[in-house]
Amino acid sequence: MKNLLIFSIILALFFGGFVSAKNQGGLPSAGLTPESPFYFLDKLGEALQEFFTLNPEGKARLQITFAAERVAEIKIVLETKGVEAKGLEVAQARLREHLGNAAEIVIKQKNKGKDVSALAQELNDDFEGPKSALADSFKAEKWALEVKEDELKAQLKAAHQAGDTAKEESIAQELGQVKAQLELLELKEEELENELEEEEERLEDEMEAREEAEEAIREAQEEKEEVIEEALEEGVELPTNAFGEFGNLLSRAQNAYEAGNYQEAERLAEQAEDAIEGIEDVIEELEEEEEDEREDNV
């Protein structure tokens, strides 16, 4: 009976946490925080979610979901326990771990030859909200500490004017603690920002494939338009099938792009642009032929 109860609790944590994270807008509910003695149940529930998530893409998305939950925990710990709370470092360390895991999954999939640009973009977009909420949490805590600092400074001035040495010393000590908390808060925020930026850069490197494919397709289309304009300016009539190979390659490139195969799309677009060079050679040959005809007629 005891084992059944424990198993039921674990299942409730597993499925309940998953639904909560998926259904709520913005940050998910923090649930158990690192300050709780039962926090290990939260970690166990997430381990079960990972175990039952079979495909790499799902595992990567799950890491971003977990990262959002860590942000919610950081927010609660800052609000209730302050910057010196031990649980804050635990939540921050796990946040860094989740984002690192997500990036690692993406890189491993790329190394297997899979196009991961769309997945990297999705993960990056999904974390934008939690990332903004994280910054807001640090700003709110900084503002609260600064307000407290100003209040203590006013109290210190009043105690000094009243000649209350004992109270002055007590307030000065508390003011020193607040200043130390502000410095620690800024340090933690800076460290976390730098670490998050490193993980984002790893994902952004994978997102570049889509942008490069878009640029390659656009450049190929622009190259075709330039060739057509050149032919019109020179009065050269191009063969009806002049853009046959180009059109075929560009169409395949666009299909690959729409299918999310950005590396293949870029490769085909570059081949299409290379095909344009052959058309430019044809234009030059036709120009030379027309010039020879004019000279013969003279």
Q: How many domains does the chain fold into?
A: 2
Indicate whether 185 and 41 sit together in one domain.
Answer: yes
Q: Which domain holds residue 291?
A: 213-297
Assess contact for 273 and 266: CB atoms under 8 A: no
Round to whole Å and give the CA distance between 281 and 219: 19
Contacts of 244 (CB under 8 A, 6+ apart): none
Residue 26 corresponds to which amino acid?
A: G
For residue 28, the model assigns a pLDDT of 87
150/138 Cα distance (integer angstroms): 18
Say if residue 293 is in the same domain as residue 182.
no
Q: Are residues 190 and 137 in the same domain?
A: yes
Asked if 228 and 88 sit in the same domain, the reply is no
pLDDT bracket for residue 292 (50, 70, 90)? low
Residue 253 phi, psi (nearest 5): -65, -45
Judgement on whether residues 261 and 292 belong to the same structural domain of the protein = yes
Q: Are residues 45 and 80 in the same domain?
A: yes
Give yes or no for residue 173 having a pLDDT over 50.
yes
Percent of the chain with pLDDT over 90: 48
Residues 200 and 235 placed together within one structural domain of the fold: no
Identify whether residues 255 and 159 lie together within a single domain: no
Residues 31 and 168 in one domain: yes
- Scored b (16 or more CB within 10 A) or e, 39-54 reads bebbeebbebbeeebe
Find the helix packing angle between 117-126 and 56-80, rounded to 10°: 20
Do 219 and 185 lie in one domain? The reply is no
- Could you tell me the pTM of the whole model? 0.65
Provide the pLDDT for residue 18.
41
Q: State the Cα–Cα distance between residues 286 and 289, nearest whole angstrom.
A: 5
Count Cβ neighbours within 10 Å for each residue of 252-287 and write b for 16 or more, e otherwise: bbbebbeebbbbbbbbbbbbbbebbeebeebbeebe
